[in-house]
Amino acid sequence: MLESIDYTLINWSRAQFALTAMFHWIFVPLTLGLGFIVAFMETIYVKTGKEEWKRITKFWMKLFGINFAIGVATGIILEFEFGTNWSNYSWFVGDIFGAPLAIEGIMAFFLESTFIAVMFFGWGKVSKRFHLTATWLTAVGANLSALWILVANAWMQNPVGMKFNPETARNEMVNFWDVLFSGTAVSKFLHTTTSGFVLAAVFVVGISSWFLLKNRHQLFAKRSIIVASTFGIVASIILIGTGDSSAKDVAKYQPMKFAAMESVFEGKTNVPLIAVGLFGESPDENINKNSKEDFLFKVEVPGMLSFLAFSDFNAFVPGIKDLVLGNEKHGIMSFKEKIKRGYEAQQILKAFKAAKGVDEVEYQRLKAHFDDPVWVDNYFRYFGYGNYYSPDPTQLEENAFKIVPPISMTFYAFHIMVILGGHFLLLFILMLFLTIKGKIENMRWVLVIALWTIPLAYIASQAGWIVAEVGRQPWVIQDLMPTMTAVSKIDSASVMLTFWLFAVTFVGLAIAEIRIMIKQISIGPKEGGK
């Protein structure tokens, strides 16, 4: 079955979507966090009546607006790609995936677009409190928009609240609340949005540090640092907690991703957490049952990975080999068995379609499978694995190892994200302490570090999405649909062409935003809050 796949089309479709998503995610995190930081600043202005706080609010609001406008443009392209490049996916799960995206457009986007006009053009035209309300609702709207998109993404990672309809070969939603409030959706929303809060706090602290280095607008810069650092400390603490719950969710529903995050080849109890590590030879090269971890060096925390996954230092954490080859002692089914069961489910669906209108008795007998929760749980849940089936036992075993995600990329992205997250928290604490003590302007090396931490925040943000998306490969819907079956049947040349067109467009947008941002920052806040 794998031999007939057009991998050129698949790889270019994946590359195009990854390009669009990663550029979109450059703009979104700053919007999520900066909206709330601006709202807090304006709240202080309304409470105190001090014009300095109005000046501070309007400066950061202007940067928020620039970023928001460009983020919307990339987001629209991203949603269109589901129909153009991923039509098979859209057909298979459109009834479920489309619902949160529709709500996002109807509710969240209209909330943002309505109140953002008041936020920017309502100064002096509406009361202070009404304007403040508009600012808060704009910030809330931006995060509500993220909620529905993240709910849709979480469903792909852990499909719940749905039933497969063999008549249409589509998954249909049966419980909206299961989709909205699944543990995966809650963890993903909280962890992703708080990571955006941290990035925005780093951005404000870094730009404020630049003003102090230039000896410009020092009162403005110090007050901005105090607000952003406080916001960043709170967000970082929440981020740690949501990261823990997210890791437990991954360990439960996506154990292969969890194993790749820490490069666990052999399952065992009391598994150490690799705090820092560097591979000697890439674990992705010729991965098979004889593969093993190969580190030039690593620093481990004993038992911590078991605790991170299951809140028990002695818990068993399955490794890559356990998941591929199976582990009867710990009740882990092999990928080969999942492939066979998935293939059987696919064959029953094909037979069901063939019997329709031809053999009513056979048709009803086959249909009963899809109404049987035991059969669904034991066979249909592995539907996507059937695409890796081969009647040749040797080839079947090789195909089983093709369901392992890229280990090196997932491992390094996860550790970069975690290490930088620790750096951000320490930076916020240091900046807040030095600013309150009145020493920050004399600590130029700290200001330089804060300024250069801005690109690090974007690297950490992108690394988080690499863990989430690369770590679940080859699945576009966990266990139900591999990426290779989700793409549209179109000419790969057209995908290649649009990839480069999008690349040029997105790079142009990014350059335009950076230039506009730099120009506005160099101008600085206007005097008198005007």
Q: What is the DSSP letter of 64?
A: H
**Residues in Cβ contact with 162 at an 8 Å cutoff, skipping those fewer than 6 apart:** 93, 96, 171, 172, 173, 174, 175, 179
The predicted structure's pLDDT at residue 1? 56
436 residue type, one letter: I
CA 4 to chain centroid: 31
Say yes or no to pLDDT of 35 above 70: yes
Residue range 362-374: mean pLDDT, rounded: 91
Dump pLDDT digits (tens) for 302-357: 989 999 899 899 999 999 999 999 998 999 999 999 999 999 999 999 999 998 88
Q: What percent of the chain has pLDDT over 90?
A: 55
Say yes or no to pLDDT of 529 above 60: no
End-to-end Cα, the chain, rounded Å: 66
Say yes or no to pLDDT of 3 above 60: no
Coil, strand, or helix at residue 61? helix
CA 69, CA 517: separation in Å to the nearest integer?
A: 12
- Give 121-149 as a 3 state SS string: HCCCCCCHHHHHHHHHHHHHHHHHHHHHH
Range picked from 7-11, 44-48, 493-497, 522-526 for highest mean pLDDT: 44-48
Residue range 133-154: mean pLDDT, rounded: 89
Residue range 201-210: mean pLDDT, rounded: 96
The predicted structure's pLDDT at residue 108? 67
Domain ranges of the chain: 2-254+405-529
Say yes or no to pLDDT of 446 above 90: yes
Confidence class of residue 453 from pLDDT cuts 50, 70 and 90?
Answer: very high
Compute CA distances 435 → 217, 224, 226, 276, 352, whole Å: 14, 10, 7, 32, 70
CA 459, CA 453: separation in Å to the nearest integer?
A: 10
Dump pLDDT digits (tens) for 76-102: 777 778 778 888 888 888 778 777 777
